[in-house]
Amino acid sequence: MLLAVEELAKAPFCLILAYPRPEESLVNERLAELRSLGITHVELSGPKRLPGGLEVLGKGHVGVVVAARLHGRKVALKIRRVDADRASLAHEAEMLELANSVGVGPELLAHTDDFLVMEFIEGPRLPDWLASRPTRAQVAWVLRRLLEKCRQLDEIGLDHGELSRAHSHVLVERPDALRPEPRLLDFESASNRRRPANLTSICQYIFISGLAGHVKAILGPVDKEILLRALRAYKHHMSSETFTAVLEACGLKDI
């Protein structure tokens, strides 16, 4: 369902703008803010639901995410929850801009304290994509690219913070292509003030814990002891040599 932003002033749609307590004054204030950003429509679709059956792309502790239109372009719009544990989305915007500086994450298009307007990324979550029976070559390519992106974040000192449980933080764009592209999402827990652990976290999630069974069935077994040694060496000294050793331990060096 595609709604003009003016419709968000009415119940039940106002819940999207100020979840979970859509007071009229706040809804009107946020509506004016949306207009100033150039948002003209909001699309109600997605796997998550708000009360009243309102379909959205995502709902977390900090915000609600919906598809929207910015000057005719489909975008992702994150809206800060009224009861969020932070007064602003400014930090997340700053972290996403830092990730964008090395080509990682959805492109940040605009932001205020209450809204993030981002590139809309379409594709299945990584676990769902792996379950769809991609080819061995596709899986190897996607995992190699994902590890490279985590390495890029490590290099700039930005820790995503959620990659040890990355089931909802990696989408696979162009899933049927010869070379699909993994995309990292959701930088609300990211920080450049702690030691980055992106590569070690994603490797543990893919090869040791969460997705290990799926990946083993497609790519074959990984020697976990060798991988853990390589990750410890990488954590101690994040160099191109130790990164290459991690790739080799994962069976992805020559992809």
DSSP for 190-238? -BSSS---HHHHHHIIIIISTTHHHHHHHH----HHHHHHHHHHHHHS-
Picking from 119, 153, 180, the residue at the C-terminal end of a domain is: 119
Structure tokens at 103: 């080509």
254 assigned to some structural domain: no
Say which DSSP state 107 is in: P
pLDDT at 195: 97
Q: Alpha carbon of 88 to those of 84, 99, 128, 226, 235: distances in Å?
A: 9, 19, 32, 43, 32
Last residue of a domain, one of 103, 119, 135: 119
pLDDT for position 161: 97
Which neighbouring-strand residues pair with 229? Answer: none
80, 132: one domain: no
**C-alpha atoms less than 13 angstroms from C-alpha of 76 in its C-beta half-sphere:** 20
- Name residue 2's beta-bridge partners: 43
Same domain assignment for residues 33 and 105:
yes
State the CATH number of the domain containing residue 108: 3.30.200.20
State how many domains the chain has: 2
Q: What is the pLDDT of residue 244?
A: 98
* Residues ≥6 apart with Cβ < 8 Å to 102: 152, 153, 155, 156
The whole-angstrom separation of Cα 204 and Cα 165 is 9
Residue 253: helix, strand or coil by DSSP? coil
Residue 9 shares a structural domain with residue 101: yes
Sign, CA dihedral 133-135-141-147, equals: positive
Same domain, 223 and 147: yes
d(CA 41, CA 22): 19
Answer yes or no: do 103 and 189 share one domain: no
3-state secondary structure of 50: strand
The domain in which residue 29 lies consists of 2-119
**Burial class of residue 178 (count of CB atoms within 10 Å of its CB; 0-12, 13-18, 19+):** exposed
| Same domain? 170 vs 208 | yes
CA distance 197 to 194: 9
pTM for this entry: 0.94
Q: What are the average pLDDT values for consecutive 10-residue runs of the chain, which has 255 residues?
A: 96 97 97 96 96 95 97 97 97 98 98 98 97 97 98 98 94 98 97 98 97 96 98 98 98 94
User: Do you find a cis peptide bond into 22, omega within 30 degrees of 0?
Assistant: no
Residue 255 included in any domain = no
pLDDT at residue 79 in the model: 98
Provide the pLDDT for residue 125. Answer: 97
